[in-house]
Amino acid sequence: MPDRDSFPQESGSADHISSFFRNLRLDWLLLHFPPRLVRSVYVFVNGFITIGLLALLALVSRNPFVFPSLGPTAYLLFFTPLGRTSSPRNTVLGHAIGLICGYVAFVAAGAGAIPFGEHPGIFWPRVLAAALSLSVTGALMVLLDASHPPAGATTLIVSLGIISRSRELVVIEVAVFLLVAQAFMINRLAGLPYPLWYAAARTESEGGAG
């Protein structure tokens, strides 16, 4: 049975993470610790730094610069940075589609009639808004070739009324831009040809290959 660390989808990730540590002259870590552990620490550190900075900005500005779907986006940007779903284009457009669809569904279904969390039972307008927003978001991401799975969570955050004010939606998209900018700097530091906007066509199994 082959070593699971040698699987293609993981070896690509190991390649770019190895490059990162070599550039920082920390490649000795790769010689003394298991590859899976090093990759895990790499994702941990980058996730902590990027989300931590956005959380600090949210605290200072009192705006929602951190929201649940940003977590899986950060994971994609640092574990499979060269995958098409992790490209700046798909990340930015995917969340934008989710935000727009979520807000339109929220308004059209009348889901804002009762504040989120105050209805004791099933609130049908909110059920309709959730189903409508997610289905349209998925359809548009396919149509526009802008697949980014975490955007499915973004659209539900909005259509369910968890975050629904238009000003906050702008802040969320700005947070996505800031996360992508951080990922660009860190991935380029790792020696990756992380795209400025659009990723070249490749399979997702090659997403981490450097």
Nearest of 44, 41, 66, 36 to residue 157 by alpha carbon: 66
Domain boundaries, the chain: 4-196
Residues in the chain, total: 210
For residues 33 and 27, give the distance between their C-alpha atoms in angstroms, rounded to a whole number. Answer: 10
**60 band by pLDDT with thresholds 50, 70 and 90:** very high
For residues 156 and 135, give the distance between their C-alpha atoms in angstroms, rounded to a whole number. Answer: 10
CA distances, 33 to each of 2, 15, 51, 93, 109 (Å): 19, 15, 26, 38, 54
Beta strands in 98-137 (DSSP E): none
For residues 210 and 197, give the distance between their C-alpha atoms in angstroms, rounded to a whole number. Answer: 17
Q: What is the pLDDT of residue 150?
A: 97
Q: What is the pLDDT of residue 209?
A: 41
Give every CB contact of residue 197 below 8 A, 6+ residues apart in sequence: 87, 88, 89
* Residue 192 vs residue 161, higher pLDDT: 161
Question: Is residue 208 over pLDDT 50?
Answer: no
What is the pLDDT averaged over residues 165-181?
94
Per the rule left: phi > 0, alpha: psi between -120 and 50, beta: everything else, 165 is beta
Question: Is residue 6 over pLDDT 50?
Answer: no
* Residue 76 vs residue 164, higher pLDDT: 76
User: What phi, psi does 204 have (nearest 5°)?
Assistant: -65, -25
